[in-house]
Homo-oligomer: A and B are copies of this chain.
Amino acid sequence: MHFGEMGSRWGFNRTVGQIYALLVLSETPVNANTLGETLGVSRGNVSMAIKELQAWRLVKVQHYPGDRKEYYQPLGTIWDMASTVFDERRKREVDPTLSLLRDILMQAQDNHDDDYALQQMRDIHDLLDMFMRWADELQSLGPDKLQALMKLGSGAIKVLNLKDKLLGDKTETDKQ
């Protein structure tokens, strides 16, 4: 189905995406053979996909008495999933980029032959860093409050405008 393709942009391959989709949509836990047969992929492939889903902390295993097979189930809610994937990708993609940028900026301290590039990197670093801190804060709110905040939506903007009017132009630093 189409869900697999989506998955490839979230950092895992088609089979992993499809298996996860099946698990999420199934009310009861599913075993590896059934997954393989349903999707038409080999047993080995299913095993590797499950392994990866476990590395992402996205599935848990169930056992039924009198049956030695492992039955898989998604771990946590849709929110947990989104949150976990966000964490993992951050750890794998963003954090290394931020520290690379920091290293370059440190080493170039008093080397003035490429001020422009350094300033660009500083800007990117600061933007990414600010965004990530914000994302952390939002994530730490938990689903309920975050959802409320999203629904509030443009309401938050009104608060912001109000604050500006009350406090003057403090935050309006970088018009372009």
Contacts and interface: CB of A to CB of B under 8 A. Distances in A.
A157 B141 contact: yes
A9 B6 contact: no
A172 B149 CA distance: 11
Contact of A130 (B9, B144, B147): B147
Given A97-B2, A151-B130, A24 B120 contact: yes
A interface, size bucket: 35 or more
B156 A123 contact: no
Contacts of A148: 160, 164, 171-172
Interface of A: 2-3, 6, 9, 11, 24-27, 77-79, 82, 89, 93, 96-97, 100, 116-117, 120-121, 123-124, 127, 130-131, 133-134, 137, 141, 143-145, 147-154, 156-157, 159-160, 163-164, 171-172, 174-176
